[in-house]
């Protein structure tokens, strides 16, 4: 099912300990930047993939790990910018 970065705010908050939908990801393929909320997210029973809204490269992958763990990787992200607080930035 096709969704967007809002839909993975919960699992990402487990990873980062806070809401990161306003964090800015830079794609290592096309070098464009966008907030996580604007990524294209595809959800299956095996987990979620967040793709670059510009070039479709897989940026983030979230899935079940062993036991109750979450497995998380950032295969297509060259940098991630986070504000220390949570201002209305974007």
Partner 1 sequence: MTHRPAAWHAATVRSVSRETASARRIEFEVPTWPGNDAGAHLDVRLTAPDGYQASRSYSIASSGDSRRVVLAVDEVPGGEVSPFLVHELQPGDQVEIHGPLGAYFVWTPGDERPVQLIAGGSGVVPLYAMAELHDREQDSTPFRLLYSVRTPDDRFFASELEQIAARGRLEASYVYTRAVPAGWHSAPGRVTRDALAAATWPVDRRPRIYVCGPTPFVETVADWLTELGHEPRAIRTERFGGG
Ligand X SMILES: Cc1cc2nc3c(=O)[nH]c(=O)nc-3n(C[C@H](O)[C@H](O)[C@H](O)COP(=O)(O)OP(=O)(O)OC[C@H]3O[C@@H](n4cnc5c(N)ncnc54)[C@H](O)[C@@H]3O)c2cc1C
> Which helix H or strand E contains 77, and what residues bound it?
strand 77-81
- Select from 5, 7, 20, 52 the one that contacts ligand X (CB under 6 A): 7
Q: Which does 10 bind (CB under 5 to 8 A by kind): Zn ion, partner 1, ligand X, none?
A: partner 1
- Select from 32, 56, 81, 86 the one that contacts partner 1 (CB under 8 A): 86
Contact 34, 12 (CB under 8 A): no
How far is Cα 12 from Cα 31, in angstroms, rounded to an integer?
22
Binding residues for Zn ion (CB under 5 A): 27, 29-30, 52, 54-55, 57
């Amino acid at each position: 099912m096709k969704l967007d970065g809002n839909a993975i705010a919960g699992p990402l908050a487990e990873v980062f300990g806070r809401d990161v939908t306003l964090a800015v990801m830079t794609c290592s393929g096309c070098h464009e930047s966008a907030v996580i909320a604007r990524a294209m997210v595809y959800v299956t029973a095996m987990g979620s993939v967040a793709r670059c809204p510009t070039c479709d490269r897989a940026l983030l992958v979230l899935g079940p790990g062993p036991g109750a763990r979450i497995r998380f990787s950032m295969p297509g992200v060259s940098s991630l910018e986070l504000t220390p607080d949570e201002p209305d930035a974007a």
